[in-house]
Structure 1
């Protein structure tokens, strides 16, 4: 029995996001490694310098940032799959250097190369997923990035907890967790080329027949005459023709064309704002934060392991429901709740620090962290990758996502460097930064971010050209009705048919081929009255 197209496409996107497991694992493993006594001894006397210790964490993010700009060229020249493969190879080099590190210098090198590889994979996975996805499940595919990241963090937290509890004061306590990170890269390197290439990239390179076959393979059991396949390839060809009239894509047009600059700005701000929720401060320095509340390092690792389970639940909720909730609402709600959780956390840290004997207050503090993590994982984290990946045209997508992703690494680096110094000098007041930013993030999304749910990638140019700057209370703030049914009971010529209805058909899986204009076409739904994307 053949897989249905939606399941096959979803599985392709799932495999491509193996790189996100690597990303999540690396984020989750470092907190446990930094506190291992043998690791501290191996790194030498320079490790006692807080700035050099912080560099072990932050140089990974500099590597991610460095990987952003080559990826724009590699993705357009080599294709999406081969570039992901290159990123996995570079990451394996970095993982091997970390695992065998004999000094802090070797550790820095390993972290940088690992970050370089992660930067490539983290940028390309959601881009590839967006380009192969049907509009009705694009949100579910692109948010897999954060779900797989959560799986990596989950594995890292429990592995570091286990080695900390069972292999304490040995090299294995930290070398085993660092070595395990290499494993997910192996199948990614070995099998990524078995996946279909992005049909939009193939078409951009003039390989239209191959692009058509790939679309048919993804969405129609290989039927190149399927209405959706025909309609999509016509859409893609029209976009390519417009691109040819404009000329080859350049970095400059991202800043000189108003709709492009608007999208780059929104993507950059979104990625930067994610780190200002406080997520990285908790990820990297949870041991430091929680020990100030009176908990032991091993107990903190247990809390982080439980936290990783909560994150997975939140990420699964996002994958399941994001195409129903839209993009704006989860981002607004998630940021408000994250801001409130840091308000409560600030009060608890100020009034009942670890030096005060009040276990109830300390465990409430842990609970606020878990609440924050659930809403971040279900609302903010996944959409910070999904939204930028879907708002650009094919010709600019690789370059634009490289720019917007760089905001994540820059802000991540900033938080990683500043956090230990800030906690040393201002303590609980540092939490107020994240309490404020959570609410300002929500306000900005409410005011300026158009809703993209249900729209085709080829619609994004028009969306960001036509939508007003202030989005709130306009039709552009509302998601499209995924369950609308088009009834056509008289012969139509598509040249005279409402473009709004035609676009709705394409979004909903109710497809009218652009070449079929001479007769009646009736599609109550593409799949027996159920949207194509329904599971």
Structure 2
């Protein structure tokens, strides 16, 4: 057994037997210098932009399809699809994601976090080119399936890399920003489609240009992803301790090989992962093996359902149907509203994410769901009265638009930034890839429902469909209140204590090397 193995084993045993010394706050360096003036932290945080672009591409897709539906050029080229035919185009991405479900967690567990982002982004570039070149409905649908397949692989790995690589005190805000960058893509798509709309009534490039630009951000990821280091937690999981320590030393301690913070992080990561290895097979059935894991399973299913089933699917993919229902039917008018909404969302979401560590996750979830319910109730009432008056009272339609903006404010507070922070926190390293996959499966099931049910229901019963979402959001408030514990102020490994108690860290023998534990 080498000296390094002895050192690592001693560190692990020391953490287990000295819990009173187990405090992140006690090992954080007090440099007195803001993080943006410390080169290693500045480079690390700027590097997070690369995985962020997975979320940006995802946002671009939703907003682009919204914009295309408001373009007469796209409608004429594809025969003005409605109902299930329109739903299939929205769900084309979902069909591709379904095919990627078995692949994504395997890649994350066996190749790390960077390679899935690379290969997923490369497939997104291919899909964007095919989408731009589409000659008919079938080809456009097939291209969206390619986009969905590559997109899911990149999206699963990206927040994991951010969470596992981030400086401890920056993690919640950095992961919170991840989903907020969805709106950057949405903003760009909204205004690109608005601009290309004026190319002419018969110009197919009016919709082909936005389709091609969807491959821009993935191309940037393909080129630059390997400038970021691999996740130290993945490296420890693969028994590559020296590499993990080098990453933490360089990016968390600025090269200080005697850093107490790095020692603490290594001890914590090793102990949590080795304990998990000694008692688990890291299969999906492990989510049913303990009460703590079943609680985790509840959360990672509930959170994506809330993200997609709170009425936001109507705004994300069928805003033009909402605007039609309140009398705003002009193409340029709809495109301007879509663009303005994305600008508002981006600004609000970034501001709110900055307060995540101050307010906490649970409070933001409650604030969000209660606020959304209030907005949806008022939105429903205004839409009903507007229809009864034959859409002649423009102030009522304007009131609905105001409620849409207010709804987005509350949605962004709790269901845009916090979900990825919360899910990556509650999942231990050895289950993070599979748990994220379960989250994506749950999200996909709800999006699939939204893709087919929303346009059909809006065509059939118009504003009355909003009542369904009022009921759903009311249920969500109860789920958060009774089932979501607070995780604020804990490291990724310390959160395990909330769900598993002292069983989160088992005994580690002094006589065993890290590889043997």
Counterparts of 2:333 and 2:288 in 1: how far apart (Å)?
49
Asked if the contact 1:281–1:416 (Cα under 8 Å) also holds between the matched residues in 2, the reply is no
Counterparts of 1:167 and 1:331 in 2: how far apart (Å)?
45
Counterparts of 1:244 and 1:378 in 2: how far apart (Å)?
36
Distance 1:279 1:41, change over 3 A: same
2:465 aligned to which of 415, 430, 445:
430
1:330 aligned to which of 353, 359, 364:
364
Counterparts of 1:348 and 1:49 in 2: how far apart (Å)?
26
State the match for 1:107 in structure 2: 140
State the Cα deviation string for residues 390-448 of structure 1 (Å, max 9, x = none): 21111111011110122112111111110111012221111112222223212211211
Residue 37 (1) aligns with residue 72 (2): yes
Asked if the contact 1:135–1:455 (Cα under 8 Å) also holds between the matched residues in 2, the reply is no
Counterparts of 2:164 and 2:306 in 1: how far apart (Å)?
25
Counterparts of 2:212 and 2:254 in 1: how far apart (Å)?
40
State the match for 2:436 in structure 1: 401
Residue 443 (1) aligns with residue 503 (2): no
State which drifts further: 112-121 or 197-206: 112-121
State which drifts further: 209-218 or 351-360: 351-360
Residue 453 (1) aligns with residue 485 (2): no
Matches within 5 A, 1:414-425: 414-425=449-460
SS at match of 1:143: helix
Deviation of the 1:265 alpha carbon: 1.4
State the Cα deviation string for residues 63-82 of structure 1 (Å, max 9, x = none): 23432331110011111001
State the match for 2:425 in structure 1: 390
Residue 127 (1) aligns with residue 155 (2): no
Asked if the contact 1:22–1:181 (Cα under 8 Å) also holds between the matched residues in 2, the reply is yes
Deviation of the 1:258 alpha carbon: 2.4
Matches within 5 A, 1:215-294: 215-294=248-327
State the match for 1:504 in structure 2: none
State which drifts further: 254-263 or 68-77: 254-263
Counterparts of 2:294 and 2:100 in 1: how far apart (Å)?
22
Deviation of the 1:464 alpha carbon: 0.8
1:365 aligned to which of 393, 396, 400:
400
Counterparts of 2:169 and 2:253 in 1: how far apart (Å)?
15
Deviation of the 1:318 alpha carbon: 2.5
SS at match of 1:457: coil
Deviation of the 1:356 alpha carbon: 2.6
State the match for 2:244 in structure 1: 211
State the match for 1:475 in structure 2: none
Deviation of the 1:131 alpha carbon: 0.6
Counterparts of 2:379 and 2:58 in 1: how far apart (Å)?
27
Counterparts of 1:82 and 1:446 in 2: how far apart (Å)?
38
Matches within 5 A, 1:329-348: 329-348=363-382
SS at match of 1:413: helix
State the Cα deviation string for residues 472-498 of structure 1 (Å, max 9, x = none): xxxxxxxxxxxxxxxxxxxxxxxxxxx
Asked if the contact 1:203–1:211 (Cα under 8 Å) also holds between the matched residues in 2, the reply is yes
Residue 149 (1) aligns with residue 182 (2): yes
1:374 aligned to which of 409, 418, 438:
409
State the match for 1:309 in structure 2: 343
Larger RCO of the pair (alpha carbons < 8 Å, separation 6+): 2
Query: Unpaired segments of 5 or more residues in structure 1?
Result: 468-498, 500-535
Deviation of the 1:239 alpha carbon: 1.9
Counterparts of 1:436 and 1:340 in 2: how far apart (Å)?
11
Asked if the contact 1:25–1:152 (Cα under 8 Å) also holds between the matched residues in 2, the reply is yes
Counterparts of 1:168 and 1:144 in 2: how far apart (Å)?
38
Asked if the contact 1:59–1:413 (Cα under 8 Å) also holds between the matched residues in 2, the reply is no
Asked if the contact 1:25–1:153 (Cα under 8 Å) also holds between the matched residues in 2, the reply is yes
Q: TM-score of the superposition, structure 2-length normalised?
A: 0.87
SS at match of 2:101: helix
Asked if the contact 2:50–2:224 (Cα under 8 Å) also holds between the matched residues in 1, the reply is no
Asked if the contact 2:367–2:413 (Cα under 8 Å) also holds between the matched residues in 1, the reply is no
State the match for 1:318 in structure 2: 352
Asked if the contact 2:63–2:186 (Cα under 8 Å) also holds between the matched residues in 1, the reply is yes
State which drifts further: 250-259 or 35-44: 35-44
State the match for 1:464 in structure 2: 499
Deviation of the 1:4 alpha carbon: 4.2
State the Cα deviation string for residues 21-68 of structure 1 (Å, max 9, x = none): 110100110011133333233335xx5452112100112123234323
SS at match of 2:462: coil
Counterparts of 1:151 and 1:67 in 2: how far apart (Å)?
25
SS at match of 1:249: coil
State which drifts further: 81-90 or 57-66: 57-66
State the match for 2:332 in structure 1: 298
SS at match of 1:17: helix
Counterparts of 1:35 and 1:437 in 2: how far apart (Å)?
28
Choose between structure 1 and 2: higher helix proportion: 2
Query: Unpaired segments of 5 or more residues in structure 2?
Result: 1-35, 506-517
Distance 1:259 1:455, change over 3 A: same
SS at match of 2:494: helix
Counterparts of 1:88 and 1:190 in 2: how far apart (Å)?
10
Deviation of the 1:263 alpha carbon: 0.4
